[in-house]
Amino acid sequence: MDNYEVTKIKTANAYNAAAELFDHPANTFWNRFGNSTVERLQLQLGEHVLDVCSGTGASALPAAIKVGPHGKVVATDLAAKLLAEAKIKAKTKNLKNIEFRVGDMLSLDYADASFDAVVCVFGIFFVPDMAEAVTELWRKVRPGGRLAITTWGENLFEPANSLFWQAVRDERPDLYKGFNPWDRISTPENLGEMLAEAGLHQVEIVTELALHPLNTPDDWWMLVLGSGYRGTLDQLDPMQLERVKQSNLSQLQTKSITGIEANVIYAIAKKPLS
């Protein structure tokens, strides 16, 4: 099994574990930025959309609403439990124009030029070769269609993020993560260079500086449990987990932290008609 296959399994396991709290009220940023991405795409009635790394539908569900009953959205993710939550939400909204598929964005069996829009929100950085992944997604965009890539900007979830990893390092130095996958494209310049490597040179790239509120330190812990941090937490024994939690939350309390950075970079490329 190669490194990417191992990474896929670990990623799926982490997000399946986080699924129950993914849509906790403390984690509104998923819907906030998923909606914002869809708004920037200016989807039209009847269009067909592929949404990869869909999570619980933060961008797929608003896309399904935008394209209407004669349009279609295919929502894919590695984590089956996230898609199960998305399916429940789609049913609640009476959305019948959306299909859910568990799968890897690099091996979806759709023909070239199958979609009017392809969307990837907070997911492109999970693959080792991002330019290769973008090339694969771009092939599926019809002439005149759009590709939307949304990623995290710099200083994600700071200052709580650094406090979390310090608490982890104090317990399990082997689990400390000094580098996150999204760090590779956390500036407009780095994102633009990666997209250029994939052959996309005419791209609109916009940075949004955002703050995510924490009403209480416990809000941060709900975010940690309902996100990719879960993969680290699940490697701690119960006593280690409790010490990490208490250390992290006491620091937030002491420092009176009521908000964390949630900066985002949007990139939208339009495929020429010919």
Identify the CA nearest to 88 among candidates 67, 69, 61, 62.
61
Residue recorded with tokens 């009635």:
45
User: Distance (Å, rounded) from C-alpha 183 to C-alpha 148?
Assistant: 19
pLDDT tens digits for range 190-228: 999 999 999 999 999 999 999 999 999 999 999 999 999
pLDDT at position 86: 97
Domain ranges of the chain: 3-155+181-211+261-270
Hey, what are 65's tokens?
């609403």
Positive/negative CA dihedral, 157, 100, 35, 194: positive
Domain 3-155+181-211+261-270 carries which CATH code? 3.40.50.150
Low-confidence ranges of the chain (pLDDT < 50): none
pLDDT at position 1: 65
Q: In Å, what is the CA distance from 46 to each residue of 67, 71, 75, 118, 176?
A: 5, 4, 16, 15, 47
pLDDT at position 3: 77
Phi-psi region of 111 (alpha: psi -120 to 50; beta: other; left: phi over 0): beta
pLDDT at position 107: 87
Positive/negative CA dihedral, 231, 235, 241, 245: negative
Identify the CA nearest to 191 among candidates 144, 134, 143.
134
Say what the pTM is.
0.94
pLDDT at position 5: 85
